[in-house]
Amino acid sequence: AKDPVRVLVTGAAGQIGYALVPMIARGVMLGADQPVILHMLDIPPAAEALNGVKMELVDAAFPLLKGVVATTDAVEACTGVNVAVMVGGFPRKEGMERKDVMSKNVSIYKSQASALEKHAAPNCKVLVVANPANTNALILKEYAPSIPEKNITCLTRLDHNRALGQISERLNVQVSDVKNVIIWGNHSSSQYPDVNHATVATPAGDKPVRELVADDAWLNGEFISTVQQRGAAIIKARKLSSALSAASSACDHIRDWVLGTPEGTWVSMGVYSDGSYNVPAGLIYSFPVTCKNGEWCVVQGLPIDEFSRKKLDATAEELSEEKALAYSCLT
Ligand code: NAX
């Protein structure tokens, strides 16, 4: 039998946490033959609720779940973890300035970065979900200099999956037959959902999405804004933000990173930019990536048309501004 993998979930008493921990305990994230030990962190006001989640995990009697650590102590939570899913953060409340929210999250990510750097297992893989996800990941990288930058990522897989879902609905095809959409840039409404390289599997082989949809006005307009605004549409409908889809996409992100992407398929991940596609180096930016042997690699050489170029640059610009704002909060 395999040794258990230790998975940290911060903000585990929150709504994404509540959807995510049972998926991890069921093997959705790391595989049906991979035992796990869950480490759950939250803050003292949520300690009792966190303990309730732990009780439910025990009650569910998950065969793969070999242990649960539920704590409000970041050091205890981070000790020995192989995978860290950072869902905890400070939400933007009515009337708050962007700068105030940023400064709260900068201080959270700064201290959790140190706890991870000192106490996580070597080669720990980190996924930041909490918003502003790209910039929180950048702060974490900054304050955990001994964690390889390749190990620090943020979640844009939910946006990627939303794009697959929209194409599948539009064409009335199985979502599993659609592949190779791309989310470029920030996990915000400036993101660019790109279908220029996406295909649908048909009995006659893979066909370009653009050819099958045959409606450039929709693809360049409503499709993009629907994906960009999907989070807001969920809030409007549910009066709560996306949770099950965020949790499921976080599992997809880690699973593909650890176990690899299928041949011929790429996914979107927020990763540390090396200047590929003329995106400024030093941002956490969402790119198309393939994964193998536990490492991601940016898909190179895709042609970028003028329409796309503008959108790649606009979302990079927003991330540079967020970075400057975050750095202005560092002390
Ligand atoms: P909730 O408010 O339900 O849960 C957040 C939890 O984090 C709470 O239990 C809170 O006590 C805890 N927390 C706060 N500060 C903490 C700290 N310093 N250490 C540990 N835990 C802490 O929010 P939820 O709906 O679960 O969303 C969590 C985060 O995910 C938010 O920042 C949200 O904006 C972000 N999202 C990101 C998405 C993405 O695709 N990247 C999509 C979904 C979601 O909106």
Query: Of the residues 8, 42, 160, which should be mutated to test ligand 1's pocket, given the most ligand atoms within 8 Å of the CB?
Result: 42
Residue 296: φ, ψ to 5°: -95, 160
Question: Peptide bond preceding 4: is omega within 30 degrees of 0, i.e. cis?
Answer: no
- The two tokens of residue 80 are 């020995």
Q: Which string of DSSP letters, residue by residue, matches 15-56?
A: HHHHHHHHHHHHTTTT-TT--EEEEEE--GGGHHHHHHHHHH
CA-based torsion, 117, 283, 259, 291: positive or negative = negative
Is 11 known as a binding-site position? yes
C-alpha–C-alpha distance, residues 297 and 266, integer Å: 10
Q: What is the pTM of this model?
A: 0.98
Compute, in angstroms, the gap from residue 170 CA to the centroid of ligand 1. Answer: 31
pLDDT in tens, the chain (331 residues): 899 999 999 999 999 999 999 999 999 999 999 999 999 999 999 999 999 999 999 999 999 999 999 999 999 999 999 999 999 998 777 778 888 889 999 999 999 999 999 999 999 999 999 999 999 999 999 999 999 999 999 999 999 999 999 999 999 999 999 999 999 999 999 999 999 999 999 999 999 999 999 999 999 999 999 999 999 999 999 999 999 999 999 999 999 999 999 999 999 999 999 999 999 999 999 999 999 999 999 999 999 999 999 999 999 999 999 999 999 988 6
Q: Looking at the predicted complex, does its ipTM rise above 0.95?
A: yes
Asked whether 308 and 200 are in contact (CB, 8 A), the reply is no
Please name the amino acid found at residue 108. Answer: I
Is the minimum distance from the CB of 155 to ligand 1 under 6 angstroms? yes
Residue type (1 letter), 193: P
Binding site membership of 185 for ligand 1 (Cβ less than 6 Å): no
Which of left, alpha, beta for 207 (phi over 0: left; psi -120 to 50: alpha)?
beta
**Residues catalogued as catalytic:** 187
Interatomic CA distance for residues 96 and 114, integer angstroms: 27
Question: Encoding tokens for residue 144?
Answer: 């955990």
Q: What Å distances lie between residue 94 and 91, 98, 101, 151, CA to CA?
A: 10, 11, 11, 34
Decide whether any atom of ligand 1 lies within 6 Å of the 136 Cβ.
Answer: no
Q: Looking at ligand 1, which residue's alpha carbon is closest to its atom 42? A: 246
198 CA distance to ligand 1 middle (Å) = 31
Long-range contacts of residues 304-310, Cβ cutoff 8 Å, at least 24 apart: 304/277, 305/196, 307/220, 308/184, 308/192, 308/194, 308/196
Distance from C-alpha of 78 to C-alpha of 112, rounded to nearest angstrom? 8
